[in-house]
Amino acid sequence: MPERRESESQNDKGTDLSEEAMSKTDSQTELSKRLANKITSHQPSIRVIYGDLSQLPNKVRHFVEEHVKLCKPDTIHICDGSERENDLLLYVLQRDGMIKRVPKFENCWLSRTDPADVARVERLTYIATEIQRDTVPTPKHGAKCQLGNWMCTEDMDHELNMRFPNCMKGRTMFVIPFSMGPVGSPLSKIGVQLTDSAYVVVSMRIMTRIGDKVLEALGDNAFVKCVHSVGRPLPTTATLQNNWPCDPKMIMVAHLPERNEICSYGSGYGGNSLLGKKCLALRLGSILGHREGWLAEHMLILGVENTLTGEKRYIAAAFPSACGKTNMAMMKPTLPHIKVTCVGDDIAWMRFDSEGRLRAINPENGFFGVAPGTSSKTNFFAMQMIQHNTIFTNVAQTSDGGVFWEGLEDEIEPGVKITSWLGDDDWNKDSRQRKAAHPNSRFCTPATQCPILDPAWEDPSIFADARPFAMRPFFGYNFGEYLHHWLSFGKDAKNKLPKIFHVNWFRKDKNGKFLKNKNLENENIDMEALFNVPLDFWENEVNAIYKYFDEQVNEDLPKAIMQELKALEARVVSY
């Protein structure tokens, strides 16, 4: 973060999770410690309304005090992760008009954001490093880089200094200690997020493990520093849309890997504000994985068991956002002897164990699923799961106290009226002029409510076959180096490399219907169309990949990848 105290040691400015960097941080001189204590003692008194600042580990307390001085909140709330705390924050959010009950379900809530704050902002998401090539390849022929947004650290500090000073005036700063992965697991990572949004706290409680138990596991070790503000200091004369504070014109999501920091400003929505999700688990996580010899991937994990033989396999599958990952992770098989269990629907942390087997965990604690398209037909188990303890965002509501989105048309009782996410009181599903729910509307629900959650979902010994890649929006470092990192695991003779399958469940028949939208055993499938290899498509595909690698990855492309592309071209030519 910008505006650090001059008395800070040089090591504190670049905290790294490696053992070497941590030992440097811990070896501050007695003089620097005395100076830090002196400055802290002269800071204005901090009004803590929940929790005990003095009981925080030293590094966490200093992090909080530094940002109190910068962001100027009125009060501080140190999150303990308890039910009592959650009930209190839900009451406050309801009182302030940010959420309302969904009475048809148990302890479920609906929020509507400002229409200008409804999605992740990849174009405003940056990785800040000293050297550009550490973050992105250098495109060829003046092409615009499509593999991430880089900013030098000095410019990033300038941008953050334009945003964060005094940004929390009139508000409460919440301190959220959180763990990605089971608390205390050797595969987990701990972060501390500072935020001025109670909505973020109740959502982070679902999506991560938060509170006192995390602080106990952390002790005085290093952690990922996360700072978030909606960018609306109080008092404000501007009218808030849907009582949703944000500053859309100044939104920025910044990752500073050399300091292990994530800073987000201006948005209160989803992955922009729940900094344990895409920011830590994927962007910064991929950097940590590169440093430490593991992989952070945009993948679901599921188990498939043959109940006749008892044989079980785990699969990690990579698909882009909003294409049905959650539906696949919670499949309801039509074959009677096949059982599917869900480990996770979005993120996989994978590493090879001492015996060379690929292990995987889901570092999240909940599901942040895209609502439209989810129904009892497409995802029976998700529809059961979300009827308790769920926060819905930007979905429509129904006159019988429920929720609605596109895909639920057949599940609404006759005569029930729908109020759209934009507040249209009698939205007509037949007019279709505007969607009832925002296309990126979400449900946020605890993983433990999934009816088919794998019994070993928190076990780091789960091993998986894998299918890369769906990481383009989430690279934390140079894509060419990312490919090198994947290839490096094949050089270790003891590693049992996973089987990789390329699937396409989106092919259509001559009538424009999905070929795989049926039970393959019971329906008349056009098998010729299903297994057809269209030559013109693959010729164009090879040419497009050549062009993409040449322009975007350029000199950073591993030679082995180019060799595979040439081999593909030879197979296509000889087909």
3-state secondary structure of 192: strand
Find the helix or strand (DSSP H, E) in which 67 lies: helix 58-71
Terminal-to-terminal C-alpha distance of the chain: 56
| Cβ count near 131 (within 10 Å) | 10
Q: Which of 407, 315, 309 is nearest to 360 (CA)?
A: 315
For the record, the structure tokens of 458 come out as 């928190």
Collapsed DSSP state (helix, strand, coil) of residue 109? strand
Q: Tally the C-alpha atoms within 13 A of residue 122's C-alpha that lie toward its C-beta.
A: 12
Rounded to the nearest 10 degrees, how much is the dihedral formed by the CA atoms of 215, 216, 218, 220? 90
Tracing tokens 């650290």 back to the chain, one arrives at 153
The catalytic residues are: 323
Give 103: exposed, middle or buried? Use CB within 10 Å, 0-12, 13-18, 19+: exposed
Angle 559-573/535-548 helices, nearest 10 degrees? Answer: 160
Q: Cα(205)–Cα(276) distance, rounded to whole angstroms? A: 11
403 burial via Cβ count (<10 Å: 0-12, 13-18, 19+): buried
> Rounded distance, CA 378 to CA 4, Å?
51
Compute the distance between CA of residue 299 and CA of residue 361 in angstroms, rounded to an integer. 10
Q: Is omega for the bond preceding 498 within 30 degrees of 0, making it cis?
A: no
Please give the C-alpha separations between residue 417 and each of 109, 166, 220, 404, in angstroms, as whole numbers: 19, 44, 54, 10
Query: And the tokens for 365?
Result: 């604690």
Q: Which helix (H) or strand (E) segment is 396 a member of?
A: strand 396-398
Closest of 197, 195, 345, 190 to residue 280, by C-alpha: 190
Nearest to 11 by CA among 30, 26, 25: 25
> CA-to-CA distance for 15 and 225, rounded, in angstroms?
9
Tokens of 533: 């290899």
Task: Work out the burial of residue 386: count CB atoms within 10 Å of its CB; fewer than 13 is exposed, 13-18 middle, 19 or more buried.
Answer: buried
**Residue 566 identity:** K
CA–CA separation, 328 and 379 (whole Å): 8
Judge if the upstream peptide bond of residue 469 is cis by omega within 30 degrees of 0: yes
